[in-house]
Amino acid sequence: MPNATVMVIQNAERFGLAALHQLRGRVGRGEYKSYCILKYQGRSENIRERMKVMQDTNDGFVISEKDLELRGSGEFFGTKQHGLPEFKIANLFEDMDILKAVQTLAIRILNDDPNLEKKENQMLKKAIDEKFNGKIEI
């Protein structure tokens, strides 16, 4: 409904920040001022902080970073059914700057040498081939 102006979310503490952000985005699509009311139970510091994030920002990147910070990286297998898998050598939240730098470098290398044929990329190509038994294409 493009002209919806009010949304009330009961038990907002049960939703992740990303889900709350998505729901909140369903109102205010028209020309009228809109409101999203988050009703929650509990007085824990974590719940209060999560609701404050939703109050303070509409930036999905800020919300996802804060969500990851507050709930941790989770487990891929096991009892936790949310979050991201833990890395063996990095913490997804604490090492975000270095992970972004590595991603930027990887993109730069692949844009410059998509098949890793240049001499300076041969060791990288060999490591990838050994790790994945040649079953992926670059």
Q: What single string gives the DSSP state of each residue in 53-111?
A: HHHH---HHHHHHHHHHHH-SB-SSSS--SB-PPPSS--TTTTHHHHHHHHHHHHHHHH
The CATH code belonging to domain 1-86 is 3.40.50.300
Distance CA 63, CA 47 (A): 14
Q: What is the pLDDT of residue 79?
A: 45
Average pLDDT of every residue of the chain: 83
What would the pLDDT profile of 92-106 be if each residue is shown by its tens digit?
Answer: 667 778 888 988 999
Domain boundaries, the chain: 1-86, 95-138
Strand partners, 17: none
pLDDT of the residue at 86: 57
**pLDDT, tens only, 42-79:** 889 989 999 999 999 999 889 988 888 887 655 444 44
- Comparing 2 with 75, the larger pLDDT belongs to 2
